[in-house]
Structure 1
């Protein structure tokens, strides 16, 4: 969507702050020994208390309030009582929701407790690359150039990107135009960011894989085509003529 009034901006601020606070609270709630179903139900209660509704449930009938992906799972991890979190796990939480007709999306990867499996560098790279990408987004900039920036910075650090997962427009629904804010350069994409538009920008930085594919056993869970691990970070922003307004800044994933 594009912001055309103060009321629309206020609506986007409210839902963005909601998903940001829920993401932050879920991260703080994480501890070794809890399972991802318990964590998801905690997040669902928070959304309900704020008057918000889970976006993946509303849009796709997803069997959870949030997506919680652990270790080798790239995205869309299903909450499960059998997935018990352990010290050193690489965890990604993605929280998106609707409130009063407005939608926002954010996510972040982190290491639970001690970095026993050396995932911290990957997480740091994902956060810093997102921060770099956001600093370059403004009205008139080609979407493909941001993809090139993300891919180039990942390669300089010794990482790859997931090429078939992307950021997207958001605001009046979970996924809107532009649909393909990729983590790689697409020379055929000549679309430019539009001033006052609302978009979700996300990184998918990988150790080995370049594509996500549906895992065996369910229709939701995505894993890498060549194994390894992936870190993701995401903000909902408003594009301006200068630096964007980071609407989900309250989740503090760039700290």
Structure 2
């Protein structure tokens, strides 16, 4: 398996791509409210991407029709924005977004509560966000890919949730999806060794119930098989000599 280690010049461009992703997601998060459609969020993402001198990473990728992956409640990932899908109080809105900046990719996701959500929904969101932070802490040079997934799995399963196994994180750089795959479960100490210059997109998807998912008729939107809630967080992370550097986080 060939994994590209990024140079300092390339990393500088990926930092810019990550900054743009973060800024657009910040704006989208502020726009999430009851009554807003996922189509409106997609339009905002497209507008801001263009204003920042970047290109959308997802639109046209393997035929995906939109700039933003917008998944609500039991939708796990890859939800297609729609004029008919209007957010309601208590929903969980998953915003998954990426850009290409001067040939280099950035990719991140976050789950945003719509208004006041139930304590159960809030706990799921908190556990998923925390699991990503645990994964980032495990991304020390010399550790292994299995340490990342193990950190996610241990954190969420201890709280009674399940990790989606049908989708994984991934390397990222000149392409949106590069080697290696980064599962959200695994055995500590297993898999490829983490080396400075590697850039990985790590993205826990965590379900209230079963880890099984189903694909809707649009052939994109993945939903929980039992109809229960799902949450999703993602960052693009650089491995450095000193440890992990999150490229898609606010400075």
Q: TM-score range by the shorter chain?
A: over 0.9
Contact kept? 2:143, 2:189, Cα under 8 Å: no
* Structure 2 residue 229 is the aligned partner of structure 1 residue 229: yes
Q: Which residue of 1 aligns with 2:219?
A: 219
- C-alpha distance in structure 2 between counterparts of 1:188 and 1:129, whole Å: 18
Structure 1 position 241, deviation (Å): 2.9
SS of the residue aligned with 2:35? coil
Contact kept? 1:148, 1:185, Cα under 8 Å: yes
Q: Which runs of 4+ in 1 moved over 6 A?
A: none
Q: Which residue, out of 3, 8, 20, partners 2:6?
A: 3
Q: Which residue of 2 aligns with 1:83?
A: 85
Contact kept? 1:110, 1:120, Cα under 8 Å: no
SS of the residue aligned with 2:243? coil
Q: Which residue, out of 98, 101, 106, partners 1:99?
A: 101
SS of the residue aligned with 2:200? strand
SS of the residue aligned with 1:231? strand
Query: Which is worse superposed, 121-130 or 137-146?
Result: 137-146
Structure 1 position 9, deviation (Å): 1.8
Written as runs of structure 1 = structure 2, the 5 A alignment for 1:10-159 is 10-116=12-118, 118-159=120-161
CA RMSD of aligned residues (A): 1.7
Sort the Cα spacing of 1:195 and 1:188 in 2 relative to 1 into closer, same or farther, 3 A.
closer
Contact kept? 1:96, 1:104, Cα under 8 Å: yes
* Structure 2 residue 190 is the aligned partner of structure 1 residue 203: no
- C-alpha distance in structure 2 between counterparts of 1:111 and 1:189, whole Å: 35
TM-score (normalizing by structure 2): 0.93
Contact kept? 1:87, 1:116, Cα under 8 Å: no
Contact kept? 1:136, 1:243, Cα under 8 Å: no
Structure 1 position 129, deviation (Å): 1.1
Contact kept? 1:209, 1:227, Cα under 8 Å: no
For structure 1, list consecutive stretches of 5 or more residues without a partner in the other structure.
none
SS of the residue aligned with 2:59? helix
Query: Which is worse superposed, 41-50 or 110-119?
Result: 110-119
Contact kept? 2:138, 2:151, Cα under 8 Å: no
Q: Which residue of 2 aligns with 1:185?
A: 186
Aligned residues: 248
Q: Deviations over 1:12-65 (max 9, x none)?
A: 111110011101100101111111101110111000111211111143231111
For structure 2, list consecutive stretches of 5 or more residues without a partner in the other structure.
none
TM-score (normalizing by structure 1): 0.92
